[in-house]
C-alpha cells in the first residue's frame, strides 16, 4: 500500500502543476529514517531548478513528473508515502519539497511516515532502462485479455501471487489482487496455466472494474489512516471492499458463506470458497 488506484489518485491530484516552473527543490531535515533521494542535492539543483513541468504520468506504483529537459522525477511511495499539495499530516515526516511558480500550486510535497519511499531523478534513457518493458509489465489498468494470457498464461504459479509480479502486470498489490479475484470468481490458488480463456476474460473485466472504481473513490484508506490524496483527504474505496481484511464476515455475493483468509507467499489472501471455486 499504496497501489495503482492510490498512486493514480496522487498523480491526478497534482496534474494541474503541468506548466509550472520549479523554483527550488529541498530535501527536508528530519530525525526519522532517512529517505533514499538520488542523485546528490547539488545535482538536483543544477538539473531541476528553473525547469518546467511538462507532464505528470505514472509507472506502475510510481508518480512520474516529466520536465521540459526530458528528465523524470520519480516518486515511489512504497508503504506510507504521500504526494501532497497542502499541509501534510505531520511536519516530522515531511521529507521533500518542490517549490513552484506559474501554476495553481505553490509546492509539491512528499511525506513518508516510515521512510521506505524513494525519489529519483532520471534522464529518459535511465528511466526506460529501469521502467521499460523489460523491467515493468503493461499497466494493469489497460491490459487486454490477450496481454494477460501472454504475460501469465504459461506460468505454473498460483494466480494470486502472480498478480503481484510487477514484471507481468504493473500496479496491482495485495489488497486489489484479492478484490479482483473475488469479482472475477477465480480461486486465488488456481494455477495460471490451468485457467481457461473465459477466466482470463473475467479477470480482465474484473481488473478494470475494480481499479476504475477504486480510482473513482480516490483509493483506500485503511485502519491506520495513513493514505491520503493530494489534498490530505481520506480515500473512500475501503467502504466498498468485498473480501479484503473481511475474514469471518459474510460474502457479499453468497451471504451464507463467510470470507476466508489464507497465506500465499507470506501475504494474506481473502476469498470466498463458494463463489471462487478452485476448479471450474
Number of domains in the chain: 2
The closest of 226, 243, 242 to 234, measured between CA atoms, is 226
Distance CA 80, CA 228 (A): 10
Q: Residue 30's pLDDT is what?
A: 86
Active-site positions read 2-3, 61, 267
Residues 153, 256: one domain? yes
If we measure between CA atoms, which residue out of 44, 269, 1 comes closest to residue 160? 269
pLDDT at 280: 60
Is 11's pLDDT higher than 70? yes
Do 120 and 154 belong to one domain?
no
Confirm whether pTM is higher than 0.75: yes
Q: Please state, in angstroms and as integers, the Cα–Cα distance from residue 233 to each residue in 102, 221, 225, 230, 273, following that order.
A: 25, 9, 10, 7, 35
Q: Do 265 and 192 reside in the same domain of the chain? A: yes
Question: What sign does the CA torsion over 20, 24, 27, 30 have?
Answer: negative
- Are 81 and 180 within one domain? no
Give the per-residue pLDDT at 70: 98
Residue-averaged pLDDT of the chain: 96
9 and 126 share one domain: yes
Backbone CA torsion sign across 126, 132, 134, 136: positive
Q: What are the pLDDT digits (tens) for 190-239?
A: 999 999 999 999 999 999 999 999 999 999 999 988 999 999 999 999 99
Look at residue 94 in the predicted model and tell me its pLDDT. Answer: 96
Supply the range of the domain harboring residue 28.
4-131
Q: Mark residue 145 as left, alpha or beta (left: phi above 0; alpha: psi -120 to 50; beta: remaining).
A: alpha
Final residue in a domain of this structure, among 131, 156, 172: 131
* Distance of alpha carbon 192 from alpha carbon 168, whole angstroms: 12
Amino acid at each position: 500500500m499504496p497501489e495503482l488506484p492510490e498512486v493514480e489518485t496522487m498523480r491526478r491530484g497534482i496534474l494541474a502543476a503541468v506548466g509550472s516552473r520549479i523554483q527550488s527543490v529541498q530535501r527536508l531535515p528530519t530525525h526519522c529514517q532517512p529517505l533514499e533521494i538520488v542523485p546528490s542535492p547539488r545535482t538536483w539543483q543544477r538539473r531541476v531548478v528553473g525547469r518546467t513541468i511538462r507532464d505528470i504520468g505514472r509507472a506502475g506504483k510510481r508518480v512520474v513528473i516529466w520536465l521540459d529537459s526530458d528528465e523524470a522525477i520519480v516518486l515511489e511511495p512504497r508503504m506510507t508515502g504521500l504526494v501532497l499539495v497542502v499541509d501534510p499530516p505531520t511536519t516530522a515526516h515531511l521529507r521533500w519539497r518542490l517549490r513552484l511558480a506559474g501554476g495553481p500550486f505553490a509546492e509539491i510535497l512528499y511525506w513518508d511516515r516510515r521512510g521506505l519511499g524513494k525519489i529519483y531523478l532520471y534522464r529518459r534513457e535511465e528511466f526506460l532502462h529501469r521502467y521499460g518493458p523489460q523491467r515493468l509489465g503493461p499497466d494493469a489498468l489497460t491490459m487486454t485479455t490477450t496481454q494477460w494470457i501472454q504475460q501469465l498464461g504459461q506460468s505454473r504459479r498460483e494466480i494470486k501471487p502472480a498478480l503481484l509480479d510487477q514484471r507481468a502486470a504493473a500496479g496491482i498489490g495485495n489488497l486489489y489482487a484479492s478484490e479482483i479475484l473475488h469479482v472475477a470468481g477465480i480461486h486465488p490458488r488456481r494455477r495460471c496455466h490451468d485457467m481457461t480463456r473465459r477466466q482470463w476474460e473475467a479477470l480482465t473485466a474484473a481488473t478494470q472494474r475494480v481499479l476504475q472504481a477504486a480510482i473513482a473513490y480516490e483509493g483506500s484508506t485503511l485502519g491506520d489512516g495513513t493514505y491520503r490524496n493530494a489534498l490530505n483527504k481520506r480515500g473512500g474505496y475501503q467502504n466498498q471492499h468485498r473480501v479484503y481484511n473481511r475474514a469471518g464476515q459474510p460474502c457479499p455475493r453468497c451471504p451464507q458463506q463467510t470470507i476466508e483468509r489464507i497465506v500465499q507467499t507470506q501475504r494474506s489472501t481473502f476469498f470466498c470458497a463458494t463463489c471462487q471455486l478452485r476448479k471450474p
